Structure 1
Amino acid sequence: MLSAAALAGFLASAGLIIAIGAQNAFVLRQGLARRHVGPVVAICAFSDIALILAGVAGIGALVQAWPTLLQVLRFGGAAFLGVYGFLAARRAWQGSGGLAASNAQQQTLRTAVLTCLAFTFLNPHVYLDTMVLLGSLSTRYDGDLRWAFAIGACLASVVWFASLGFGARLLQPVFRNPRAWRVLDGGIALFMWALCLMLLLQPLG
């Protein structure tokens, strides 16, 4: 029974995390550029773990009780996505996103960490997915089974972000071509702007 609950948590969490998102696009780009991949993966995974455990513990109900906070995060997240989309579009236009350019720019660890934290915590949907949805699903189980579900959900996050961040290097032969970086950054820009519009136009609830 414990293994079944853990598997259910793993699959539920994986289904939510693996869906294309702004955070995933950022982790992929960091992995391709091999810039601060370890800290970025750790921040994403441990942030998810903290939110999942909070949701299973019942704190997700507080998120639903504070709609104003979600609205603040909604507009703050939309603004952040809009700006990041502009920066990606500028890289695509100027062709300044290749491996050589990335190494030359020497992105600082502080910048990478702050950007990762923004992608993680300025997205209101991360609270709805981890704390509310996974927290609600965990109520189907009692006692140790509920925490087995939580462990499975946390494991899915660790596996996904580690695979995305460290596995991105397998695509590096493709991204030795500067044009591939321009296509990637152009796609990221469009994706960020689409998410920005979705946050602005789609009410949370």
Structure 2
Amino acid sequence: MLASLLAGLGLGFSLIVAIGAQNLFVLRQGIRREHVLAVVAVCTLSDLALIALGVSGIGLVLHGVPWLAIVVRVAGALFLIGYGLLAARRALRPAGETLAVTGPATDAASSASSGTLTATRRRAVVGTALALTWLNPHVYLDTVFLLGSVASSQGDGRWWFALGAGVASVVWFAALGYGARLLAPVLATPRAWRVLDAVIAVVMVTLGVVLAVGG
């Protein structure tokens, strides 16, 4: 059970700690100190729902169609290795993405005089967080299909695997949102993302190989 938990934790971090629109949005909101709790809650709860969907849905399908387990396992392994190789490529040849950060909101007088404006802004921020999560096609490949397929290889430990992945989501989004002011100077540099991508590449390729040869 501990092995499944740690595997889920490792894969969860590998998938989520990658530069992308959602993470940049959470980081930006954390830097601005604007509706951080709402953004972190939306991203975390959405990820937990997607993890549960992947583990339960894929698991049921594989249980009823044994041969499909082999197909999913191979496909999952290839996806992991391919994802890892792409991360390695980013680490070796960064795309030069930079974090566009605006300063903290300076209209304190406006926010004090209009609670309606604040509520409207909160809805807009939450809507953006939901869109960046649920309208991203990669989230279904990564969280639903990939995590679900890898979890199926854990047998009875698949829910421990899901728990590990869920813990990774909770820790990451909370740390990114609330630690953003401390992390921003580091995460905004291309070199930091190269290091993260290098770690992601190693973990993903290793898990892909293990999944392919170990079943």
Alignment TM-score, normalising by the size of structure 2: 0.59
Which residues of 2 match residues 24-173 of structure 1 at below 5 A? 24-59=23-58, 97-101=102-106, 108-143=121-156, 145-170=157-182
Q: 1:102 to 1:43 in 2, by over 3 A?
A: farther
Alignment TM-score, normalising by the size of structure 1: 0.62
The code of the aligned residue for 2:154 comes to Y
Give the whole-Å Cα distance in 1 for the aligned partners of 2:107 and 2:3. Answer: 44
Structure 1, gaps ≥5 residues long:
62-91, 175-180, 184-205
Q: 1:121 to 1:46 in 2, by over 3 A?
A: same
Identity %: 56
Once the 2 structures are TM-superposed, how far is the Cα of residue 12 of structure 1 from its aligned partner? 0.5
Deviations 1:165-186 (A, max 9, x none): 00012258x6xxxxxx9x9xxx
Indicate the RMSD between aligned Cα atoms, in angstroms. Answer: 2.6
The code of the aligned residue for 2:5 comes to A
Give the whole-Å Cα distance in 2 for the aligned partners of 1:149 and 1:19. Answer: 20
Give the whole-Å Cα distance in 2 for the aligned partners of 1:154 and 1:98. Answer: 32
Once the 2 structures are TM-superposed, how far is the Cα of residue 58 of structure 1 from its aligned partner? 2.0
How many residues align? The count is: 140
Give the whole-Å Cα distance in 1 for the aligned partners of 2:109 and 2:163. Answer: 40
Deviations 1:64-108 (A, max 9, x none): xxxxxxxxxxxxxxxxxxxxxxxxxxxx7xxx9322447578561
